[in-house]
């Protein structure tokens, strides 16, 4: 079965490859801000799951002719901290503002997941859900934060930090699934796959 990852995230692709799956990658290029604005009263989990579902659906329709029986996986991550739900920062100033709130505190990394099983070019089965992992942040010095911003890593990731990259130096610990913080929860994805009738071991590369 052809697996398609509806995400541009190298981290998500890395998680799947390390877990035995080699997906095709298709990027949806959705207007995420407009989509979030359409669900202003939804919970953080509902918002990221809405984004994940929209990405997966967009890609499923795009590939219907070339991969009519594919399995499409969509994901979207945001950080919930200080009563604010934030994605990727737009510039260095926003990274500094975020870290002024995050440093020494705790936030929740929320990732929405959507699994679409296609049949004959149509969407046959759908399973969606979200995972939450609590993240305890350290307090980088001004010099450390300057260097981190200069690396440009925090500009490319939800919440302006990573667990598996340079940002890991400034994470004191987590409570929950570590793969979710990186961008894709393997335990949740396994359950969602089962929900559409797919056994995860059948997707492992031979």
Q: Please tell me the distance from the alpha carbon of residue 111 to that of residue 173, in angstroms, as a whole number.
A: 18
pLDDT at 164 (0 to 100): 94
What's the pLDDT band for 205 if we cut at 50, 70, 90? confident
Residue with tokens 């298709």: 26
Give the model's pLDDT for residue 48.
97
| Percentage of residues in the chain having pLDDT higher than 70 | 100
State pLDDT tens for residues 78-111. 999 988 999 999 999 999 999 999 999 999 999 9
For residue 109, report the phi and psi dihedrals to the nearest 5 degrees: -90, 120
Cα–Cα distances (Å) from 156 to 8, 70, 76, 120, 202, in that order, read 11, 28, 13, 36, 33
Q: State the DSSP string of 131-195.
A: EEEEEEE----HHHHHHHHHHTGGGGSGGG--SSSGGGGGEEEEES-HHHHHT--HHHHHHHHHH
**Mean pLDDT calculated for residue range 65-72:** 97
pLDDT tens profile 106-162: 999 999 999 999 999 999 999 999 999 999 999 999 999 999 999 999 999 999 999
Q: What domains can be seen in the chain, in order of their start residue?
A: 3-203 (3.90.950.10)
Neighbours of 29 (CB within 10 A): 9
pLDDT tens track for 4-41: 999 999 999 999 999 999 999 999 988 888 999 999 99
Catalytic residue among 22, 76, 175, 177: 76
3-state SS, residue 89: coil
- The pLDDT of residue 206 is 67
Report the pLDDT value the prediction gives residue 29, as an integer from 0 to 100: 84
Active site annotation includes 31:
no
């Amino acid at each position: 079965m052809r697996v398609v990852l509806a995400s541009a995230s190298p981290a998500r692709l890395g998680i799947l490859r390390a877990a035995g799956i080699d997906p095709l990658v298709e990027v949806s290029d959705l207007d995420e801000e407009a989509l979030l604005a359409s669900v202003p009263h939804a919970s953080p989990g509902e918002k990221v799951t809405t984004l994940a579902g929209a990405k997966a659906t967009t890609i499923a329709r795009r590939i219907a002719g070339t991969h009519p029986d594919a399995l499409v996986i969509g994901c979207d991550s945001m950080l919930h901290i200080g009563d604010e739900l934030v994605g990727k920062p737009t510039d260095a100033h926003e990274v500094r503002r975020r870290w002024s709130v995050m440093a020494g505190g705790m936030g929740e990394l929320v990732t929405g997941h959507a699994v679409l099983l296609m049949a004959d070019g149509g969407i046959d089965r759908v399973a969606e859900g979200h995972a939450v992992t609590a993240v305890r942040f350290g307090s980088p010095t001004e010099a450390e934060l300057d260097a981190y911003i200069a690396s440009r890593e925090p500009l490319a990731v939800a919440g302006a930090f990573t667990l598996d990259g340079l940002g890991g130096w400034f994470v004191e610990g987590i409570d929950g699934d570590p793969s979710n913080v990186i961008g894709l929860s393997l335990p949740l994805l396994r359950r969602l796959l089962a929900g559409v009738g797919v056994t995860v071991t059948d997707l492992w590369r031979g």
